């Protein structure tokens, strides 16, 4: 029997757009728990818990913010059911009654805004973020293939400990006022490893036949039901496909779903895929198509009568509505989208979908951050994980309204303009290009990277909504700035490639003052050496054999190499560090390396460029055997040089310089003595979007 109980229909929507959005805001019941709409905040590690296993006030505020923003159901991050089941030191001790008061604080915060909250319960099993980890529990002794650390094959006493831990944790959640629990048989954890034919090679009652592999999960569900009540909702986060050459596929995942549903103890499924050995399918970056996950969700729904939560980079107002109307899902799961913009449901409901800040699936600040056990962040939302202290809701009107001129329409400049306008200032943005966006517009031309344009698309929409005046195709000069009579000038002029042969050079004065220097690689001034900006903007069209120098470690070099390969070039990347794209989030980097292999991009690592000459590039290994006597052995001396011959072009991604000459001119001019002049973004120091937007948000609140 289905657990979906539809509430009475509301009055007919009054507009065509409201009719289109209606499926998103139809209520739904899971047992006795009524959800106000179809938005689910998916479980994900935040690293906001205390080291002692207690939930923090930051974690409570984090969940409350998403309930305030309109999410119907919050499913908490995985909480450990036993000390041996912690994937991180910052996992919550769900089994310990001492956490109940702080869990109650979380539940009360969510309920105060009309949301419902379930606790996800897990034993992390053979997966850990710790190096080295504690003893890892598993059905059979073997390391998770992505790890070097082996495991303990647990015995029946341990199995009883696991079952009891799930029961105690569910009981604590119910006592704390949670509306339900979710059992994790998903991309990580002990229960999936017991269910997996690859990881479970046991021959006792918990291995061998399918029913035996599922036995631990069944017994956990039974224990939870005994510890709570028949009406207390229990869901399962289910990995449908491990997406590895050795793991199980969708057919087996659906068999697991049928087995779990047949117990009568599961009230809904939360769909999931991937494993630590296919990390990019757990939390898919932009390079993984959302349609690949829609297929999984639809198959689960076709094979189950239970409510199904969809997952996988869903766009609520497009794919999400289509899935609900097609009966491919009952609820829509969002993690990163609601990290990026907690107000997503409310904005859509108000008819302001144009002001939704869209997640770009970069994984740079959410996943990359928590994998280091640092509190969760977002490159676009400076308040993510810091809702108590950094929050857009805390922007207040300025005591004195002033005229603010922002020079530069990239992410930093637009963010300052947004916040300054919200504080009541009169704001003008001057942008020398014909379009806003700065370097984001170049990055969007890279393969699998177009979605990054959403960063500035949102900022353009919000500053238009705030009445900011925007002038494009206008170069800021001292004369123009004088004519505008500003009280505040914010220099957000960005950065440019730090090369000697650029058509524009906004660092001459800075170099004359010793504030900047040029790289010292002989040959950088040659005409066949170009920048990534020139390539991605279309200013130059390359062909033949291209050497890309990667001293960037991020997308500027990696994405440009891929762009060139897609345009028919023979590409070789030379990187002084251990990996091309070394600073990318690990799953994103892995997929780039896979595509590089497919596209025949040659990657040379731990290699420096010593010289560039017409038609050739001299390289050397970072590490050599030379001068290994005495203190010389502690110096990194390059190895023997060799030449890459037949080179048609060199793309040098070896750093950027701040465009600060106009700033220096204004600071030195008596005409601007009474004007407050600030710098923000790359104009201050070239960095990633996360840093510049956060800094711009902070600056805007001081104006």
Q: What is the mean pLDDT of the chain?
A: 95
Residue 264 DSSP SS3: coil
pLDDT digits (tens, 9 = 90+) for 639-654: 889 999 999 999 999 9
CATH class of domain segment(s) 520-654: alpha beta
Q: What average pLDDT does range 464-490 have in this prediction?
A: 97
pTM check: above 0.85: yes
Look at 12-21, 82-91, 232-241, 616-625 and tell me which has the smallest mean pLDDT.
Answer: 12-21
| Amino acid 290: pLDDT | 86
Domain coordinates in residue numbering, the chain: 4-335, 397-495+659-667+689-702, 520-654
User: Which residues, other chains included, contact 198 with Cβ-Cβ below 8 Å and sequence gap of 6+?
Assistant: 242, 244, 246, 247, 248
| Amino acid 639: pLDDT | 87
What confidence tier does 631 reach under pLDDT thresholds 50, 70, 90? Answer: confident
**Homologous superfamily in CATH for domain 4-335:** Aldolase class I (3.20.20.70)
User: Which residues, other chains included, contact 133 with Cβ-Cβ below 8 Å and sequence gap of 6+?
Assistant: 149
Q: What average pLDDT does range 567-575 have in this prediction?
A: 98
Same fold, 4-335 and 397-495+659-667+689-702: no
| Amino acid 14: pLDDT | 55
| Amino acid 13: pLDDT | 44
Burial class (CB in 10 A: 0-12, 13-18, 19+), 8: exposed
Tokens of 456: 């500035």
pLDDT digits (tens, 9 = 90+) for 148-171: 899 999 999 999 999 999 999 999
pLDDT digits (tens, 9 = 90+) for 586-614: 999 999 999 999 999 999 999 999 999 99
pLDDT digits (tens, 9 = 90+) for 296-351: 999 999 999 999 999 999 999 999 999 999 999 999 999 999 999 999 999 999 99
Strand duo 642-645 + 616-621: pairing = antiparallel
Residue 279 has pLDDT above 90, yes or no: no
| Amino acid 497: pLDDT | 96
| Amino acid 177: pLDDT | 98
Strands (E), 532-638: 545-550, 570-575, 602-604, 607-613, 616-621
Tokens of 156: 């029946």
Q: Which fold has domain 397-495+659-667+689-702?
A: Rossmann fold (3.40.50)
């Amino acid at each position: 029997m289905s657990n979906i109980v539809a509430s009475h229909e509301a009055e007919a929507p009054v507009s065509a757009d409201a009719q289109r959005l209606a499926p998103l805001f139809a209520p739904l019941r899971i047992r006795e728990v009524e959800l106000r709409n179809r938005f689910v905040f998916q479980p994900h590690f935040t690293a906001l818990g205390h080291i002692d296993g207690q939930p923090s006030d930051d974690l409570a505020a984090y969940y409350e913010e998403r309930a305030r923003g309109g999410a119907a159901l919050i499913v908490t991050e995985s909480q450990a059911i036993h000390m041996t089941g912690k994937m991180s030191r910052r996992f919550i001790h769900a089994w310990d009654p001492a956490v109940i008061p702080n869990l109650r604080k979380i539940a009360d915060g969510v309920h105060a805004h009309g949301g419902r909250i379930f606790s996800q319960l897990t034993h992390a099993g053979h997966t850990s973020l710790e190096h080295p980890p504690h003893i890892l529990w598993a059905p059979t002794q073997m390391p998770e293939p992505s790890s070097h650390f082996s495991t303990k094959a647990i015995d029946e006493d341990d199995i009883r400990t696991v079952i009891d831990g799930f029961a105690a944790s569910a009981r604590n959640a119910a006592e704390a006022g949670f509306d339900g629990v979710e059992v994790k048989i998903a991309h990580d954890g002990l229960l999936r490893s017991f269910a997996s034919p690859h990881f479970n090679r046991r021959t006792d009652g918990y291995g061998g036949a399918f029913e035996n592999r599922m036995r631990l999960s069944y017994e956990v569900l039974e224990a939870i039901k005994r510890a709570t009540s028949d009406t207390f909702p229990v869901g399962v986060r289910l990995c449908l496909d491990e997406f590895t050459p050795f793991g199980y596929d969708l057919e087996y995942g659906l068999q697991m779903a049928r087995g779990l549903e047949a117990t009568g103890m599961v009230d809904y499924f939360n769909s999931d895929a991937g494993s630590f050995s296919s990390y990019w399918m757990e939390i898919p970056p932009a390079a993984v198509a959302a349609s690949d996950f829609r297929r999984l969700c639809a198959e689960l729904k076709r094979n189950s009568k239970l409510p199904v939560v969809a997952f996988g980079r869903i766009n609520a107002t497009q794919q999400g509505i289509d899935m609900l109307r097609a009966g491919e899902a009952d609820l829509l799961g969002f993690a990163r989208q609601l990290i990026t913009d907690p107000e997503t449901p409310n904005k859509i409901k108000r008819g302001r979908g144009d002001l939704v800040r869209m997640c770009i699936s970069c994984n740079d600040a959410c996943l990359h951050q928590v994998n280091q056990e640092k509190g969760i962040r977002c490159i676009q939302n400076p308040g993510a994980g810091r809702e108590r202290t950094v929050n857009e809701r805390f922007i207040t009107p300025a005591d004195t309204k002033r005229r603010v001129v922002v020079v530069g329409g990239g992410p930093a400049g637009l963010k300052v303009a947004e916040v300054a306008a919200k504080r009541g200032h009169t704001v003008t943005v001057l942008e020398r290009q014909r379009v806003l966006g700065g370097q984001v517009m170049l990055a969007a031309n890279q393969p699998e990277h177009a979605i990054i344009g959403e960063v500035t698309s949102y900022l353009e929409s919000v500053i238009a909504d705030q009445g900011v005046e925007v002038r494009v195709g206008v170069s800021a000069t001292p004369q123009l700035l004088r004519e505008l009579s500003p009280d505040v000038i914010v220099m957000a002029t960005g950065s440019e490639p730090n090369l000697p042969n650029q058509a524009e050079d906004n660092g001459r004065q800075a170099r004359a003052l010793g504030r900047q220097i040029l790289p010292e690689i002989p040959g950088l001034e040659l005409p066949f050496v170009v920048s990534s900006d020139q390539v991605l903007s279309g200013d130059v069209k390359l062909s033949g054999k291209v050497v890309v120098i990667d001293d960037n470690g991020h997308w500027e070099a990696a994405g440009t190499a891929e762009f060139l390969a897609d345009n028919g070039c023979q590409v070789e990347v030379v990187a002084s560090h251990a990996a091309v794209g070394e600073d990318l989030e690990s799953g994103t980097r892995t997929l780039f390396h896979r595509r590089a292999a497919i596209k025949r991009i040659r990657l040379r690592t731990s290699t420096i460029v010593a010289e560039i000459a017409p038609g050739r590039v001299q390289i050397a290994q970072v590490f050599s055997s030379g001068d290994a006597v005495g203190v010389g052995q502690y110096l990194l001396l390059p190895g023997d040089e060799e030449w890459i011959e037949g080179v048609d072009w060199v793309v040098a991604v070896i750093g950027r310089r701040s465009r600060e000459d106009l700033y220096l001119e204004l600071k030195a001019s008596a005409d601007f003595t009474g004007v407050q002049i600030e710098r923000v973004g790359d104009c201050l120091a070239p960095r990633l979007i996360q840093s510049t937007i956060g800094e711009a948000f902070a600056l805007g609140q001081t104006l």
